[in-house]
Amino acid sequence: QVQLKESGPGLVQPSETLSLTCTVSGFSLTSYSVSWVRQPSGKGPEWMGRMWYDGDTAYNSALKSRLSISRDTSKNQVFLKMNSLQTDDTGTYYCTRERIRGSVFDYWGQGVMVTVSS
Amino acid sequence: AIVLNQSPSSIIASQGEKVTITCRASSSISSNYLHWYQQKPGAFPKLVIYSTSYRASGVPSRFSGSGSGTSYSFTISRVEAEDVATYYCQQGSSNPYTFGAGTKLELK
């Protein structure tokens, strides 16, 4: 069955870089896109960016200068790196499978809580 | 960015009652690109309705959606206790994809 699982540090210092990994199973990264979505506590989700099935990327313009998404298809992994973290980057970070048609997020990981604090 | 305005922000309903949530977009969206998610406390968002009116796999028939252009709605025909959650609309029509602020459904 389709599964996504995020991993990474739960605590990041301000101004440091966040590195997260999404490990997927049950589908191929060369057939589906994977998006990263984050959600501050008590607020709505925010789409961050996407790794297309063909290896291309797309980013939310609000985060583009700080964000990088890459992948390793041999390991079924998608990576997120975001630099210059601030306290308002605190929240839960999810990776999601995205259907190309409709750009809908049909499967989600459990999420990883990231706190930016010194 | 396309802004999605959801209303109401919260609903208190009785079991068996019909509830409707509205999602209004700041620009027109193709109906293929408007989706609804359910998020229960402490859990990830779960896809409920995609492309305006199609129920995701395993979703009960009491959930439905409709709309076009800039106005969309999500309805639960008879609320059950397990439907207590926050519901979000999302548009995948243009970058950046955006979500509504959410509608919190509680039981009376």
Q: How many residues does chain A have?
A: 118
CB A34 within 8 A of CB A96: yes
pLDDT at A101: 83
Q: Which residue from B minimizes the CA distance to A95?
A: B44
Asked if omega into B8 is within 30° of 0 (cis), the reply is yes
Task: Tell me the C-alpha distance between B9 and A7, whole Å.
Answer: 32
- Average of per-residue pLDDT across A48-70: 96
Which residues of A fall within a CB distance of 8 Å from B1? Answer: 61
User: Model confidence over B18-48: pLDDT tens digits?
Assistant: 999 999 999 999 999 999 999 999 999 999 9
Which residues of B fall within a CB distance of 8 Å from A101? Answer: 32
Task: Write out the residues of chain B at the interface with chain A, using a CB-CB cutoff of 8 A.
Answer: 1, 32-33, 35, 37, 44-47, 50-51, 56, 88, 90, 92-93, 95-102
- Average of per-residue pLDDT across A26-38: 96
Identify the CA nearest to B97 among candidates B29, B10, B20. B29
Closest residue to A109, CB basis, from B44, B47, B100: B44
User: Model confidence over B48-91: pLDDT tens digits?
Assistant: 999 999 999 999 999 999 999 999 999 999 999 999 999 999 99
Report how far apart the first and last C-alpha atoms of chain B are (Å, whole number): 36
Question: Tokens 């459904």 belong to which residue?
Answer: B105
Which residues of A fall within a CB distance of 8 Å from B3? Answer: none
> How many beta-carbon contacts under 8 Å exist across A and B?
58
Task: Tell me the C-alpha distance between A116 and A89, whole Å.
Answer: 7
**CB pair distance less than 8 Å for B97 and A111:** no
Task: Tell me the C-alpha distance between A115 and A106, whole Å.
Answer: 26
User: Quick one: tokens of B88?
Assistant: 């979000």
Task: Tell me the C-alpha distance between B35 and A104, whole Å.
Answer: 7
Residue A51's H or E segment, with its range, is strand A46-51
DSSP output for A64-92: TTTEEEEEEGGGTEEEEEE-S--GGG-EE
